[in-house]
Amino acid sequence: MSVAITSLERAALDKIVVAAPQMIATLKNWSNINSGSMNIPGLHRQLAQIKTVFAELGGTMDEVALPPTQAVDGAGTPYEIEHAASFRLVQRPAAPIQILLTGHYDTVFPETSTFQTVRAVGEDQLHGPGVADMKGGLLVMFQALLALEQSKAHQNIGYTILISPDEEIGSTGSAGLLAHHAKLADLGLTYEPALADGSLSGARKGTGNFSFVIRGRSAHAGREHHLGRNAIVAGAEVIQRLAALTGAREGLTVNPAKLEGGGANNVVPDVAVVRFNARLAEPEDMVWFETILQQIRQEINAQDGFTAKLHGGFTRPPKPMAPPNAALFAMTRAAGGALGLDIVWKATGGVCEGNNLWAAGCPNVDTLGVRGGEIHSDREYMIVSSLAERARLSALMLFKFASGDFDAKALRKMK
């Protein structure tokens, strides 16, 4: 597949290059705002900035309140996690082509993180929290849509923008909103960072986060040790069983991440919380894995003096390189080729909102953001020139959807 760039499209793409200095300035401002997933005041500040910038697109903007989600603390007690609001902008909902564009404005860096500010490294790198993942991507999205709004063919495309405050903790609050709008769209575009070499993510594994809460019986560790039921020991045994499941299905990994519980050395501990993550390649493996977890729970409950409860579940099913996704990648590659970019993709164990969209039946490409690397660390960086580069890529894709050179309606019909 190949496409040509018209003179009008090229003029619009050239404007994006001119806008690059403003994009950089805005990114520095945004990334100096701490918007860790649990920092609600910081998220509010970031959301206000997003609303100010995206208002230039027109359309109908609102904030969508998200439901709280349940978690368990180190004592095994359930509690609720409150979320900031999702940002939503709806433009031309009656247009013949409907596109869902998604991103997130939270980062993995808490309010107490020492990684708080942006600094330039050389002529083409910025280091800072969220510069790549994914405040840079949000600006790529905005600039591409602004180019669309200034084009003659913009009336052919309607779109919905959803920018979430909880992607880095699994999109547990925003999952329902993402699914609702994914079902209404012809295709989805998501702005997670590309790799530094420009590669995109292709097939993605699914993921789930779980906790076993195991309760035993406390007792004096010396005088009445025999009366105790050590929950920490039971938890350690569960960890061994979970770790042994890695590889039991092709592509399955299980990561026991934390064991909590216990107290004074002279007390038999009566509670343990085992937290773990599972990633898998095939949707049917989710049912198999959850069946194994229920068997483990039942076996613990069958032991004298022990009870176990399982919390959590799979929040993002696998996203395979199914024909609709492959066709959309081919369109992305064609647009990249017209711009002199060699777009390739790689399968990954990472997950994102692209998994959520695909679970709702929406074909999507999910790494259209800036090029960068070392995300989720205090070495996170993005390549400055990729702001304009990737905005031009998305803008050209939007132009071609609007002109019909890329058939957006054909994607959902593929098997």
Token readout for 34 is 């701490």
Q: Kindly indicate the confidence band of residue 2, based on its pLDDT and cuts at 50, 70 and 90.
A: confident
85: Cα within 13 Å, side-chain hemisphere: 14
Task: State how beta strands 86-91 and 60-64 pair.
Answer: antiparallel
Q: What is the mean pLDDT of residues 264-283?
A: 96
H helices of 183-280, where?
231-243
Residue 17, token pair as written in the block:
């290059």
- The strand pairing partners of 311, in sequence order, are 211
The answer to whether residues 275 and 237 touch, using CB atoms and an 8 Å cutoff, is: no
- In this prediction, residue 348 carries a pLDDT of 85
Q: Given pLDDT bands bounded at 50, 70 and 90, which one contains residue 333? A: very high
pLDDT (0 to 100) of residue 349: 83
- Give CA–CA dist 210/231, Å, rounded: 17
> Are the C-beta atoms of 212 and 252 separated by less than 8 Å?
no
Q: How far apart are CA 349 and CA 115, in angstroms?
A: 26
Check pLDDT > 90 for residue 145: yes
Q: Is the pLDDT reported for residue 1 higher than 90?
A: no
Q: What's residue 341's pLDDT?
A: 96
Q: Report the pLDDT value the prediction gives residue 112, as an integer from 0 to 100.
A: 96
Report the C-alpha gap between 140 and 400 in whole angstroms: 17
How much is the mean pLDDT over the chain?
96
List, for residues 285-317, the tens digit of each pLDDT value: 999 999 999 999 999 999 999 999 999 999 999
Beta bridge partners, 274, equal 212, 259
Q: Is the dihedral of CA 110, 115, 120, 125 positive or negative?
A: negative
Q: H or E stretch including 178?
A: helix 175-182
Calculate helix-pair angle for 7-31, 136-149, nearest 10 degrees: 150
Beta bridge partners of 308: 214
Taking each helix axis as running N to C, give the angle between helix 136-149 and helix 386-403, from 0 to 180 degrees, rounded to the nearest 10: 40
| C-alpha distances out from residue 346 to 131, 198, 280, 350, Å | 22, 11, 16, 11
pLDDT at 242: 98
> What does the pLDDT look like over 109-135, one tens digit per residue?
999 999 999 998 888 999 999 999 999
- C-alpha span between 49 and 365 (Å, rounded): 26
The pLDDT tens digits of the residues spanning 32-68 come to 999 999 999 999 999 999 999 999 999 999 999 999 9
Q: Which of 131, 103, 61 is nearest to 188 (CA)?
A: 103
Which of the residue ranges 150-159, 208-217, 288-297, 403-412 would you say has the lowest mean pLDDT?
A: 150-159
Distance between CA atoms of residues 64 and 51, nearest Å = 13
Digit-coded pLDDT (tens) for 149-178: 988 889 999 999 999 999 999 999 999 999
Residue 211: which of 334, 293, 121 has the closest Cα?
293
Is the backbone peptide bond immediately before 134 cis, with ω within 30 degrees of 0? yes
User: How many of the other CB atoms lie within 10 Å of CB of 217?
Assistant: 15
Separation CA 68–CA 84 (nearest Å): 10
3-state secondary structure of 192: coil
Annotate 61-91 with b (16+ C-beta within 10 A) or e (fewer): beeeebeebebbeeebeeeeeebbbbbbbbb
Nearest to 304 by CA among 230, 247, 371: 230
Q: Which two tokens stand for residue 151?
A: 């084009």
pTM of the model: 0.93
**Domains in the chain: ranges and CATH:** 7-204+318-413 (3.40.630.10), 206-316 (3.30.70.360)
* Distance (Å, whole) CA 200 – CA 190: 11
**End-to-end alpha carbon distance in the chain:** 20
Q: At what angle do helices 284-301 and 231-243 cross, to 10 degrees?
A: 150
pLDDT at 415 over 80: no
Q: How far apart are alpha carbons 63 and 43 in whole angstroms?
A: 12
Residue pLDDT, tens place only, 335-390: 999 999 999 998 888 899 999 999 999 999 999 999 999 999 999 999 999 999 99
Total residue length of the chain: 415
Q: Which two tokens stand for residue 57?
A: 């697109």
